[in-house]
């Protein structure tokens, strides 16, 4: 049985539906991210789990217990928000001890658990410092220690890393995952950063307009997005509008008269479709030797890879290639684009509106 379950959960603010009919089952020890653009209902969903917002409809249960209408403090979940406000007049150790004091945990036990929590986030030597004497990343780790010290059944994180600069943010992503693996706390994180969601989660829940549109492991989400929005939101992709053609055993997407061989299940002939192909799945070859000819419109050096935009009969196609030394094709040069048809994803346009 799942550890945390949401069944038909909705939230209306007046006439506006912020979250619509969400069903989700999370296993004990899982790290799940809620991913989606601004305003799609991620925070509202997290707050309903925390007990800070009451669902208009549906049921939330934790370890078999219905908690839909239970007060936040009775749920005892650990919460870390974007503005993780530490108490400025308390030391790091006092900040971490706060939740234990509120729960009247005896002094000796408190000291031991604070020590363990600080060791977990690698801040043992910072126990007597004040928040103002810490870097952003260190403060964030104190906030995580403060949430974990009460040994919550579930840890809820709302954009916990968004105040950090890019490099620190990346370091903290690994750190967060390391800590979560070590303590095994079931964790739900809200983020609008797809790279963050992919890199640290066991599963990602994609939300669009208050609805959950796909729940999958990061790899599957990236390789098999269920609609065109997800394929462009999760990673980069080329989206080409066309029509689905079938002729006996062969099938292709027709883009303005250019036929690109592809396979897809259950799409009737003549359906409008979107073809998605990732830039890294396209190989640059000599002109005339690929599946599509084009001309390099621009090229960008990104360090570990090159990014090209290629002008083709089906429109501009973005291609990325690992930097393996040597000079790549110049702007203006004729090239051939090749790929394995298995790497093309055909999405019926009915799925886009879903």
Decide if residue 52 touches ligand ATP (CB under 6 A).
no
The CA distance from 228 to 248, in Å, is 27
State the minimum distance, in angstroms, from the CB of residue 224 to ligand ATP.
23
Q: Which of 24, 42, 110, 161 binds ligand ATP (CB under 6 A)?
A: 42
Please state the closest distance from residue 269 (CB atom) to ligand ATP, in A: 38
The answer to whether 44 contacts ligand ATP (rule: CB under 6 A) is yes
Residue 84 CB, nearest approach to ligand ATP (Å): 15
Q: Shortest gap between Cβ of 21 and ligand ATP (angstroms)?
A: 15
If binding is defined by CB under 6 A, does position 38 make contact with ligand ATP?
yes
The residue among 81, 34, 62, 33 whose CA lies nearest residue 211 is 34
| 40 lies in the site for ligand ATP, by CB under 6 A | yes
User: Using CB under 6 A, which residues numbered 190 to 209 contact ligand ATP?
Assistant: 192
How do strand 31-35 and strand 57-62 relate by DSSP bridges? unpaired
Determine contact, residues 210/20, Cβ cutoff 8 Å.
yes
**Region of 10-18, 110-118, 218-226, 281-289 interacting with ligand ATP (CB under 6 A):** 10-18
Looking at 13-21, 113-121, 179-187, 241-249, which segment touches ligand ATP (CB under 6 A)? 13-21
242 binding ligand ATP? (CB under 6 A): no
Site string for ligand ATP, 139-178 (x = CB under 6 A): ----------------------------------------
Question: Among residues 140 and 318, whose Cβ is nearest to ligand ATP?
Answer: 140
Q: Which of 43, 194, 214, 237 binds ligand ATP (CB under 6 A)?
A: 43
CA dist 304 and 161 (Å) reads 25
Residues near ligand ATP (CB under 6 A):
13, 16, 18, 36, 38-44, 192
């Amino acid at each position: 049985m799942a550890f945390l379950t949401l069944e038909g959960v909705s939230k209306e603010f007046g006439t506006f539906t912020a979250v619509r009919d969400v069903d989700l089952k999370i296993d004990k020890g899982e790290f799940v991210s809620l991913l989606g653009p601004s305003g799609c209902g991620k925070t509202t969903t997290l707050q309903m789990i925390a007990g800070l917002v009451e669902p208009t409809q549906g049921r939330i249960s934790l370890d078999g217990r219905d908690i839909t209408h239970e007060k936040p403090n009775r749920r005892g979940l650990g919460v870390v928000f974007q503005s993780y406000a530490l108490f400025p007049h308390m030391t790091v150790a006092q900040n971490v001890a706060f939740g234990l004091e509120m729960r009247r945990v005896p002094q000796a036990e408190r000291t031991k658990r604070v020590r363990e929590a600080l060791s977990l986030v690698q801040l043992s030597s910072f126990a007597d410092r004040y928040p103002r004497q810490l870097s952003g990343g260190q403060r964030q780790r104190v906030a995580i220690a403060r949430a974990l010290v009460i040994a919550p059944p579930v840890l809820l994180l709302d954009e916990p890393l968004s105040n950090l600069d890019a490099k620190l943010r990346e370091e903290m992503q690994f750190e967060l995952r390391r800590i979560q693996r070590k303590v095994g706390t079931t964790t739900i994180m809200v983020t609008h950063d797809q790279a963050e969601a992919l890199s640290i989660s066991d599963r990602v829940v994609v939300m669009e307009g208050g609805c959950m549109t796909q729940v999958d492991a990061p790899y599957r989400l990236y390789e098999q997005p269920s609609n065109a929005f997800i394929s462009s939101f999760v990673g980069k992709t080329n989206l080409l509008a066309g029509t689905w053609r079938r002729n006996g055993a062969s099938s292709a997407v027709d883009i303005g008269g250019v036929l690109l061989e592809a396979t897809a299940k259950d799409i009737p002939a003549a359906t409008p479709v979107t073809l998605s192909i990732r830039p890294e799945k396209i190989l640059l070859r000599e002109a005339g030797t690929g599946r599509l000819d084009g001309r390099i419109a621009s090229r960008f050096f990104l360090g570990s890879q090159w990014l090209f935009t290629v002008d083709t009969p089906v429109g501009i196609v973005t291609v990325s290639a690992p930097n393996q030394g040597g000079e790549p094709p110049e702007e203006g040069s004729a090239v051939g684009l090749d790929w394995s048809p298995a790497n093309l994803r055909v999405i019926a346009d009915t799925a886009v509106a879903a």
